[in-house]
Structure 1
Amino acid sequence: MTDPSGRTVLIAGATSAAGLAATRALTAAGARVVATGRSAEKLAPLAALGADTEALDLTDEHAVRTLARRLHERGLSVDGLLHLVGGWRGGGGLAGQTEEDYRALEASFTALRHLSRAFDDDLRASPAGRLAIVSSTAVARPLAGGANYAAVKAASEAWTRAVAQGWAKAAREAGEPQRAAAVIFRAKALAGLEDRLAEAYAELWTADPAELNDSILTIPEKETD
């Protein structure tokens, strides 16, 4: 068990409120944050917090692999990946689930696949690798008006669990203790819970990776009076 201090953490889709909260929490904990997003202008507030920023399209596999190579050339190996690429489109029942909306939502899953492959060696080799995605309670109870959204989140969860299985298998076959863990955070809605998510991700380093790996953790909603 360890902490984020001295770790290099890549935040994918960092220009959201959740990305800002995670950058603030991780830099405060002593981590080196690499914040990514499409817009260099929107990444500026993260740079002001001390993050290294990289503007790129995470759905472009070549761009993601180029990023990995560029970081390695700078002597950086990624210890943590927090996947925040996402968004919401829905409503209108099944008839309202347009192909355009699905493709827009699918970008999150595409980015996850590219990133997890490009940085798999880094995370496996790290003394404490941590990968986390943000999913939704809609996976457990999908609604017709959010079918596109729930389907993409379910696919992302399946992919993350496959990553977790691969890491556990590799450690077992090598006869080594497991050091890397892949987890799923679920929330009904993330708005207002950004700081809780940031804290929960930072706390992943304090847990036993073998027990943490392949787990689903719920981000609790705010208590109401």
Structure 2
Amino acid sequence: MSQDFSGRTVVVAGSTSAAGVAVVRALSQAGARVAAVDILEDRVQELAVGYNNVTGYACNLADLQAVEDLATSVRNDLGPVDGLIHLVGGWRGGTGITGQSDDDWEFLHSSVLTTLRNTSRVFYEDLAASPVGRLAVVSAQSASSPTADGAAYAAVKSAAEAWTLAVADGFRHLQEGDDSPRSAQHSAAVVFVVKALVDDRMRAAQPERKFPGYTDVSVLADAVQQIFGIEAKRINGQRLPLTAGQLVGLPA
């Protein structure tokens, strides 16, 4: 789906992951100004050099002050932010409930939830003011059907979903009591739901594996573009499955 991103600035957090690279590539090709953010400076700068309209920023998104400094730099360099695509995270698991370690919990809590809390709070006013403000996160089916081995991961993903839906509620109530022409809802927060993501490098590493039910990162990248062209009130606060190889479950 083609979407005009001319003049739009989108922050991609976790940009050097396979999913991040796919999203950065798609947004760049669509004409967006992309702020590619990751904690590894060499990798994020290498990514920025590879695509048009992409500026790289190294930042520890678990550090609120660092995120505030990042926001200042992005606004100075690229202008107000229209989109925040949060792809920071990772998977950790253990054997049963007693195998859920404190180290894994701290890693997941910091990388998945704290980074989302920090970035969404710092960029919230930009997204709320934008005529196409969008926040998108990627969650997992296991958040609603957790296993004992993945308890910590599912719990943190569930918390990230709840936080995103709370942001959606904030967007929903921005226009209450507003009789101005801008009273129609224009910002949205969404949760993409996958079993897991897959990319060409994973397939090459395990050529015998079929990855059933996995979502290719290119599908995620297409879905990210699509949400900017869909009316905000249709998608705000929605959990949108990508498990059928495309964006599905869109409300009428």
Give the TM-score category using the shorter length: over 0.9
Q: Which aligned pairs between 1:65-214 and structure 2 lie closer than 5 A?
A: 65-74=68-77, 76-107=79-110, 108-175=112-179, 176-192=183-199, 193-214=216-237
Post-superposition offset of 1:82: 0.3
Give aligned-pair identity as a percent.
Answer: 44
The letter of the residue matching 2:228 is: W
Per-residue deviation at 1:69? 1.6
Contact 2:100 / 2:151 at 8 angstroms: preserved in 1?
yes
Alpha carbons 1:80, 1:123 under 8 Å: kept: yes
Q: Can you list the C-alpha shifts for 1:59-95, whole angstroms capped at 9, x where unaligned?
A: 0000000111222233511100000001001031111
Distance apart, 1:37 and its partner CA: 0.5
Normalising by the residue count of structure 2, what TM-score does the alignment of the two structures yield?
0.85
Map of 1:29 onto structure 2: 30
Provide the C-alpha distance between the structure 2 equivalents of 1:121 and 1:205, rounded to a whole number of angstroms.
17
Answer whether contact 2:93 2:104 (CA < 8 A) is retained. Answer: yes
Aligned partners of 2:132 and 2:26: how far apart in 1? 18
Corresponding residue for 1:63? 66
Shift in CA distance, 178/3, structure 1 to aligned 2, threshold 3 Å: farther
List 4+ stretches of structure 1 deviating above 3 A: none
- Alpha-carbon distance in 1 for matches of 2:226, 2:244: 18
Aligned-pair distance for 1:211?
1.1
2:171 is matched by which residue type in structure 1? W
Q: Can you give the 5+ residue segments of structure 1 that lack an aligned partner in the other structure?
A: none
User: CA separation in 2, counterparts of 1:75 and 1:33?
Assistant: 8
Alpha-carbon spacing, 1:70–1:45, altered in 2? closer, same or farther (3 Å): closer
Residues 222 and 182 from structure 1, CA distance in 2 versus in 1: closer, same or farther, beyond 3 angstroms?
Answer: closer
Identify the residue that residue 211 of structure 2 maps to in structure 1.
Answer: none
Q: How far, CA to CA, are the matches of 2:197 and 2:10 in structure 1?
A: 21
SS in 2 for 1:173: coil
Q: 1:65 and 1:29, CA in 2 relative to 1: closer, same or farther beyond 3 A? A: same
CA distance in structure 2 between the aligned counterparts of 1:8 and 1:39, rounded to whole angstroms:
21
Task: Report SS of the residue matched to 1:82.
Answer: strand
Tell me the residue number matched to 2:202: none
Deviation of the 1:145 alpha carbon: 0.3
What secondary structure, in the 3-state scheme, does the structure 1 residue paired with 2:167 have? helix
Name whichever of 46-55 and 113-122 sits farther off.
46-55
Taking the TM superposition and a 5 Å limit, the aligned residue runs for 1:39-54 are 39-47=40-48, 48-50=50-52, 51-54=54-57
Contact 2:13 2:84 (C-alpha < 8 Å) held by counterparts: yes
Cα deviation, 1:112-167, whole Å, max 9, x if unaligned, reads: 00101100110001010010000000011000000000000000000000000011
What's the CA shift for 1:12? 0.5
CA root-mean-square deviation = 1.5
Q: Are 1:3 and 1:203, in contact at CA under 8 Å, matched by a contact in 2?
A: no
**Distance in 1, Cα, partners of 2:177 & 2:159:** 27
Q: CA deviation at 1:190?
A: 1.1
Letter in 1 for 2:123: F
Q: CA–CA distance in 1 between the matches of 2:77 and 2:233? A: 30
The answer as to whether partners of 1:68 and 1:118 remain within 8 angstroms in 2 is: yes
Q: TM-score, structure 1 length as denominator?
A: 0.95
| Paired letter, 1:209 | A
